[in-house]
């Protein structure tokens, strides 16, 4: 199999174990803030891949790229903040997490694995219907989650125009980064070695762990796990980065309004399921 060809059959258990250790390290790194445990799991995964011999070296290289990004992301707290320093810190770290695997993959390994395909700009009936359904579900469910769980308190209160704009830019910029990193980078690298379902489960593990530290806590994983899996599936089905980005940003715009409404109930009082 060439370096740019996705795998079809499930990978052997030792290979999957190596990837599961690397991706599972995100649970410790971001979910439990256990840097030593997370680093140990990541190192163990790379060691397992290395011990599998030359046939697993392509897997080892890709897991090392993912691991490097996970370590970079873990260098800063992911709590939502709107200060200039926090925004700069986020921008630098998250950019590096994307650029490291992209540059190494394309210019060192000479691969064309990490891509950002636009896909068919004329959406199918399925794509329009799916977008309508998930946006409707988000409109109904997200206010209940953020407000009843208290998760909205993981984001700062914004009342001034510049703060509201910063929150809008921040929420949507992270949403854009999510798709660039978790889907177009982590998922794409894993798909070179694993079946769709294996790769999707692995990327979702990292995706959900990141979102947990970002603020999607309490019963948030009941929403973020299916969301991460569905984003991987939709990308796999549509081959369109643009489409999964539109889906994600549709949610993020609602989340931005819900966060403002949760802190200041008279603003964006348009959610029929809001507990406010």
User: pLDDT tens digit string along 69-87?
Assistant: 999 999 998 888 899 999 9
Checking if the pLDDT of 3 tops 90, the result is no
Checking if the pLDDT of 1 tops 60, the result is no
Tell me the C-alpha distance between 62 and 187, whole Å.
Answer: 11
Tell me the C-alpha distance between 138 and 254, whole Å.
Answer: 8
Between 3-17, 63-77, 93-107, 186-200, the lowest mean confidence (pLDDT) is in 3-17
For residue range 219-228, what is the model confidence (pLDDT) as tens digits? 999 999 999 9
DSSP structural state of residue 12: P
Tell me the C-alpha distance between 211 and 214, whole Å.
Answer: 5
Checking if the pLDDT of 2 tops 50, the result is no
Tally of helices (H runs) and strands (E runs) in the chain: 10, 0
pLDDT at residue 4, rounded to an integer: 64
Tell me the C-alpha distance between 198 and 87, whole Å.
Answer: 34
Q: Could you give the residue ranges of the DSSP H alpha helices within 116-178?
A: 125-149, 161-178
Checking if the pLDDT of 178 tops 70, the result is yes
DSSP structural state of residue 218: T
Q: Domain residue spans in the chain? A: 13-263
> How large is the average pLDDT for residues 173-183?
98
Does the global pTM surpass 0.75? yes
Tell me the C-alpha distance between 190 and 183, whole Å.
Answer: 10
> How large is the average pLDDT for residues 124-145?
96
> By percentage, how much of the chain surpasses pLDDT 70?
97
List b or e across 21-58, with b for residues whose CB sees 16 or more CB atoms inside 10 angstroms.
bbbbbbbbbbbeeeeeebbebbebbbebbeebeeebeb
């Amino acid at each position: 199999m060439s370096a740019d060809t996705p795998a079809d059959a499930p990978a052997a258990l030792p290979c999957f174990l190596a990837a599961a250790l690397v991706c599972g390290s995100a649970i410790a790194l971001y979910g439990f803030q256990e840097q030593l445990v997370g680093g140990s799991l990541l190192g163990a995964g790379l060691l397992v891949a290395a011990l599998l011999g030359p046939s697993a070296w392509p897997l080892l290289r890709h897991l090392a790229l993912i691991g490097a990004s996970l370590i970079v992301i873990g260098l800063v707290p992911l709590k939502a903040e709107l200060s200039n320093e926090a925004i700069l810190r986020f921008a630098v770290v998250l950019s590096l997490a994307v650029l490291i695997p992209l540059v190494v993959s394309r210019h060192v390994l000479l691969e064309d694995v990490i891509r950002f395909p636009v896909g068919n700009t004329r959406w199918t009936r399925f794509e329009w219907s799916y977008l309508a359904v998930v946006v409707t579900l988000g409109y109904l469910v997200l206010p209940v989650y953020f407000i009843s769980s208290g998760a909205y308190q993981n984001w700062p209160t914004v009342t001034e125009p510049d703060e509201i704009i910063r929150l809008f830019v921040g929420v949507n910029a992270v949403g854009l980064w999510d798709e660039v990193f978790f889907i177009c980078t982590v998922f794409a690298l894993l798909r070179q070695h694993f079946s769709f379902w294996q790769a999707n489960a692995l990327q979702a593990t990292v995706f959900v762990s990141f979102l947990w530290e970002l603020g999607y806590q309490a019963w948030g994983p009941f929403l973020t796990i299916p969301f991460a899996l569905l984003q991987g599936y939709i990308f796999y089905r549509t081959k369109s980065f643009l489409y999964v980005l539109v889906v994600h940003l549709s949610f993020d715009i609602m989340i931005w309004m819900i966060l403002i409404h949760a802190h200041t109930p008279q603003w964006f009082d348009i959610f029929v399921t809001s507990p406010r």
